[in-house]
Structure 1
């Protein structure tokens, strides 16, 4: 249903309005609806669109959360909820391939993964260079002292499928969904919130959940968010090679000498493309305005990555066969913002994914639902407090 098709009488009442139905918003909608709340989800574009942060056909899943050890319980819970969503919808959403975190033992990637694994007793395997080459021969040019942390529970999540499945499950539980509806403001009233749309309609609800991804900072301006433009690239080897299949090249992050990090995975069954990319690290990508984003991807966008791949993953070719320009919201400390800004009883925000948030989508949805209902989340997430920057 589009916003234009929604009758004025139908827009009048809801317990919760969820603004933005990317992965986090769709998961929150599902969790709120299955708890019996009257919930309306509002999406500016269509479901599983290419405009925000929740696209790209595949995303890495891991519980060895090098970004912050406190994220490990959230990732574990997210895996359980992904499996629940699979059961509820009969849709395959998570492919268990294992995950590799590669680099110097004292580097950010490997050291962070090891610290998270040790703190939470994760099942991991550490491979030296010879064992890594045997396990995943596509990786070349390994510097002395570089190792791999292998997490058997890691794998791939499928973002577009996940969003559609979560929204479908939410609808089955009674949620209403408005697509093609741009929200221009969230106003706090004496009785709750008024969600204003570009078409001049107003959605009234008791509380608002704002999960608008790169547009979160526009709707909740006090949050210190910047929007990062990230090229996403796929490569097709000139000659088919078993080294580049998903079984031999599972999802990975690899820190190179000099600090750059490449990431990706091998070809999915029935496909010919590898997905390979470059992590930002604050050095490569541009800060942009999501309203005026240039979606073209010129050679300059993948030049650094191509130079690295020539020796680190040789044989994939010098230029991508396909490329898109995606965007995500980033916080100053690289952690999420999840909670009630300034204790506002009518607002919950969840955003600032900082390019590592998709793996937590289903768990974040549950945390958001707990916050809406005044419950403490099952694990401490104080490091995501929206007020921590004040």
Structure 2
């Protein structure tokens, strides 16, 4: 398109935006990515050194094909960049068979024929002895295809591959407004620069609602914590404590994984479930972390994972955008050809980053995504 800076401007280069940039540039699209901070920063939703990967997606059955495709694309990005990004350590989901975590995983596995193994309480304790105080009816669902992804490295790899394919990248550039015009979109920055393009892809994470206020998003502050055991213990190695989610009596869910090779810390956290974490303004959120942020988690760990440590050795505040139904928003609000959004990760979106990047590129080019994503339509609200 003549008279424009790009055919597409991608606003926000967290994991979803970085992967969309990679996919668009790889198809020869004239594209610019804009990030308000530096790459792989700790301000939004795509940081924390490691993230859980699983295809037994309990959040929605339609996410299983997306996770499978994401795994393939993660491997493709690894080959293209020579970077290790996905560690298939296996994943474990623990709780009552009819609970939200295990029950959802079993439904996904049945519907999509996933390779899983179900462990009774005795075998679960034998394989993962760090898990204590298991309820009598608890079981474990082991997914061999699960594991860990590396968020900061994924962003750097995807943006690096996009640059190599010709994408422009602007960091430390805050977008303040999007103006839809007769010929496309104008992307206004805090420094006064205006980028003109045929369309904007907005993957701004917690700031998506600021730029597209019609979307029903709220921003949640979630502490992320690491614990250092008092002494080295085989129970806390990644091999014996693979990445997990565990539903406790009363409904709270803890998650985490064992010590990474060469490290000393367990990563352990508490899922919100709408009960523990505050909604915040992404620009004024409290970034420091206090004992109040981990007190509920620490009480649970004392029984569920004893010996992990009484207080975190390290903690940061993560923020993410959440939708009313906990599903993503991916598509064109009002079917407007000038605007495409992808957001509302609702704290379970990182594992799908590469697949969402591909789907966004498909939609930007007028193609149906390879994986059906109708349940993420932003006009469903």
User: What TM-score do the two structures reach when normalised by structure 1?
Assistant: 0.97
Which deviates the most, 48-57 or 377-386?
A: 377-386
Could you give the per-residue CA deviations for residues 225-264 of structure 1, whole angstroms, max 9, x where no partner exists? 0000000000000011010000000000000010000000
Aligned to 2:241: 249
Check if 1:295 corresponds to 2:287.
yes
Distance 1:281 1:265 in 2: 19
Are the aligned partners of 2:237 and 2:258 in contact in 1 as well (CA < 8 Å)? Answer: yes
Distance 2:55 2:135 in 1: 26
Count of matched residue positions in the alignment of Structure 1 and Structure 2 = 379
Question: Structure 2, unaligned stretches of length 5 or more?
Answer: none
Q: For 2:57, what is the secondary structure of its paired residue?
A: coil
Are the aligned partners of 2:93 and 2:244 in contact in 1 as well (CA < 8 Å)? Answer: yes
Distance 1:173 1:320 in 2: 42
Which deviates the most, 376-385 or 202-211?
A: 376-385
Aligned to 2:107: 115
- Runs of 4 or more, structure 1, over 4 Å off, are none
Check if 1:371 corresponds to 2:354.
no
Check if 1:171 corresponds to 2:163.
yes
Q: For 1:111, what is the secondary structure of its paired residue?
A: helix
Could you give the per-residue CA deviations for residues 15-40 of structure 1, whole angstroms, max 9, x where no partner exists? 00000000000000000000000000
- Identify the match of residue 349 of structure 1 among 335, 341, 351: 341
Are the aligned partners of 2:359 and 2:371 in contact in 1 as well (CA < 8 Å)? Answer: no
Aligned to 1:197: 189
Distance 1:249 1:109 in 2: 18
Aligned to 2:210: 218
Aligned to 1:282: 274
- Identify the match of residue 143 of structure 2 among 151, 162, 168: 151
Q: For 2:62, what is the secondary structure of its paired residue?
A: helix
Aligned to 2:372: 380
Shift of 1:46: 0.1
Aligned to 1:26: 18
Q: For 1:367, what is the secondary structure of its paired residue?
A: helix
Could you give the per-residue CA deviations for residues 285-337 of structure 1, whole angstroms, max 9, x where no partner exists? 00000010110111010000000000100001110000000100000000000
Aligned to 2:39: 47
Shift of 1:380: 1.7
Distance 1:368 1:21 in 2: 13
Q: For 1:291, what is the secondary structure of its paired residue?
A: coil
Check if 1:90 corresponds to 2:79.
no
Distance 1:316 1:309 in 2: 7
Distance 2:117 2:369 in 1: 31
Shift of 1:13: 1.4
Distance 2:14 2:192 in 1: 23
Aligned to 1:106: 98
Could you give the per-residue CA deviations for residues 23-61 of structure 1, whole angstroms, max 9, x where no partner exists? 000000000000000000000000000000000000000
Shift of 1:180: 0.4
Could you give the per-residue CA deviations for residues 104-156 of structure 1, whole angstroms, max 9, x where no partner exists? 01000000000001100000000001111111110000001010100000000
User: What TM-score do the two structures reach when normalised by structure 2?
Assistant: 0.99
Distance 2:170 2:144 in 1: 39
Distance 1:336 1:317 in 2: 35
Shift of 1:12: 4.8
Question: Structure 1, unaligned stretches of length 5 or more?
Answer: 1-10
Shift of 1:192: 0.7
